[in-house]
Chain A
Amino acid sequence: MVTVIHEDRETEIAAARVVGEGLWLSSADVHRATGWTLTSEGLCREGACVPVPRGREADVIRGDAVDLAAFWRHVGHPVVRDGTGQVWVLGTGAAERARALRSLLAPDFALPDLDGRMHALSDHRGTKVLLVTWASW
């Protein structure tokens, strides 16, 4: 059982195959884990597609299986895995984070309060928001 962590998702995938730094998933599992869909254009989401790395098609796609880790790194995102290969984080690269901040649109997020109730930044659209961080440490 492999756990794939990506943005707000944490997905358990039984049929994942780990080969060193490679994480092979079915196209259905790629979608479950990331929201991205494998099409003939490559990996696509909301109308945007990342084409399969040119000349490396066979390295990254074999039948219905995709090396999602290779794809992710190819797009410029960090991929980290634990020692056992059972937990993977598909991170987000600095370029994308910077692009989001440069748009000056405050990136949305949802986090729980002490009672476990989720609050999203976007819940407060229409009001000024002072987002302040604090810690008990």
Chain B
Amino acid sequence: MDRTSDAARPWIEAAKPSYPCVIDQDHRVAELYNMVNVPQAVWIDETGHIVRPTESAGAYEGFRSMDRTTRKVPDEVAAITSRAKRTYVDAVRDWVIQGRSSVHVFGPEQATAHLTLPDESVARAHAHFRLGQHLLRRGQESAAQAEFEEARRLHPDSWNIWRQTAAVDARGLAAGPEFWARVEALGSRRYYAPVDMEGMPD
């Protein structure tokens, strides 16, 4: 999910992925799958069915204890962060090998129970975001920003909307003081929703 292909390009080229990387400027996938943050993932089986609906993909809340100057996290937090990522990747590998009999695959009832569904405000937010993106491509920046503000207002849980429309630093990250203030404002609420997966640190 990125502003333009050019924003994503250097990262994709450095990664040299063996799989398709597509650019979703208008957050069409986020809208379809009710996604609010990155990285989030969906597991889709060979028949095109969802066997694990939208969830945090091995990301961990640990970044919140990052020192803003050194950008380092305490060692024990870094260890948990690695463990979370490893647990997710191992689960994916297990699914690849075991298929439907992997413990990580949800049957229809479980998959349904794990869905997070959008409400009308979220649907409306996506329409405003779409409009904003179109106006931005047409060079109408202030009209676009007005749409983005409305999208943010209607869908406050969406970090995707907030971060893509926020100012970015020299690295291209929306990680300035406004971002950190918004993270602090979460209080005990999670930046990354917890994942119901065996072995996943909470």
Contact = CB atoms under 8 A, between A and B. Distances in A.
Contact of A133 (B39, B117, B120, B146): B39
B81 interface: no
A91 B11 contact: no
Contacts of A89: 127-128, 130-131, 134
A58 to B, nearest CB: 27
Interface string A32-49: 000000000000000000
Nearest to A133: B38
Interface residues of B, number: 73
Interface in B62-76: none
A56 interface: no
A79 B120 CA distance: 12
A127 B49 CA distance: 11
A130 interface: yes
Contacts, number: 176
Nearest to B41: A132
Contacts of B160: 133, 135
A79 B127 contact: yes
B173 interface: yes
B146 to A, nearest CB: 8
A94 B118 contact: yes
A133 B30 contact: yes
A111 B28 contact: yes
Given A104-B111, A106-B42, A128 B48 contact: no
Contacts of B33: 101, 107, 131
Given A80-B147, A114-B23, A135-B164, 8 more contacts: A5-B131, A83-B146, A89-B134, A106-B44, A106-B49, A111-B24, A130-B42, A130-B92
Interface of B: 1-3, 5, 7-13, 20-24, 28-35, 38-50, 53, 57, 92, 95-96, 99, 108, 111-112, 115, 117-120, 122-124, 126-128, 130-131, 134-135, 140, 143, 146-147, 160, 163-164, 166, 168, 172-174
14 contacts: A10-B134, A82-B131, A87-B135, A94-B120, A94-B123, A97-B31, A101-B53, A102-B115, A105-B48, A112-B22, A114-B12, A122-B48, A133-B38, A136-B172
